Amino acid sequence: MKPVSLETADDLATPILKEFQERYGIVPNFYGALGIDGASLKGYLAFEAAIEERCLLSEQQRELISLAVANRNGCHYCVSGHTFSARKLGMSKEECRAAQVGEASDALDQAMLDLALDVMKHNGACSPEQKDRCRALGMSDALIVQIVSWTGINNFSNWINNLVQPKIDFPKVELIPNPK
């Protein structure tokens, strides 16, 4: 499969890709891959915007989850892209690499990563003990749902990248074999 360009995109994807071109000077290859179907691109961006509009997760927490999910899914593109974004937020290389294997130094962040990886492992389900642990750390039900939502949207982007295999347009970061 080949990512679309401004010249080959459908009528839904073209204005979105033009906006990326104007904003960033390029169309990131992921959006060209997702833009193969303009409806999927538009839906993805709407879901992402809705979560971010009322987000209970910090930008760093979103990157931690994104890195863990991408590494678990073997998405080289997303591990590279999210490491780039995390580093711009001030996260260290070590924090990014730890997140790839589901590890964080903060107890709340660790519980978020554990929840994200647990729902991936169990197709959306998690144990009552996992929910109790999250609540004991002060997570509301809304935050738990947002963690699962963020995990889901990242799974979707990983699957698109693993399907299309767009060229990585960030500094490449290697996947880490995941022991969990």
- Read off the pLDDT of each residue in 18-46 and give the average, rounded to a whole number: 95
Residue 54 has pLDDT above 90, yes or no: yes
Q: Each residue of 62-107: pLDDT tens digit?
A: 999 999 999 999 999 999 999 999 999 999 999 999 999 999 999 9
List the Cα angle 49/93/21 in 5-degree steps. 40
Q: How confident is the model over 125-153, as pLDDT tens digits?
A: 888 899 999 999 999 999 999 999 999 99
At 149-174, the pLDDT tens digits run 999 999 999 999 999 999 999 999 99
Round the average pLDDT of the chain to a whole number and report it: 95
Strands (E), 38-151: none
- Cα–Cα distances (Å) from 140 to 78, 126, 143, in that order, read 28, 16, 5
Secondary-structure class of domain 59-161 per CATH: mainly alpha
Query: What is the residue extent of each domain of the chain?
Result: 13-53, 59-161
State the pLDDT at residue 180. 57
What is the value of pTM for the model shown? 0.94
Between vectors from CA 51 to CA 21 and to CA 95, what angle results, nearest 5°?
80
How many residues are listed for the chain in this entry?
180
Question: So what's the pLDDT on residue 127?
Answer: 86
Residue 4: is its pLDDT beyond 90?
yes
Distance of CA 41 to the CA centre of its chain: 15
Q: Which pLDDT score, from 0 to 100, does residue 125 have?
A: 87
**Is residue 58 over pLDDT 80?**
yes
Is residue 157 a contact partner of residue 149, using CB atoms and an 8 Å limit?
no
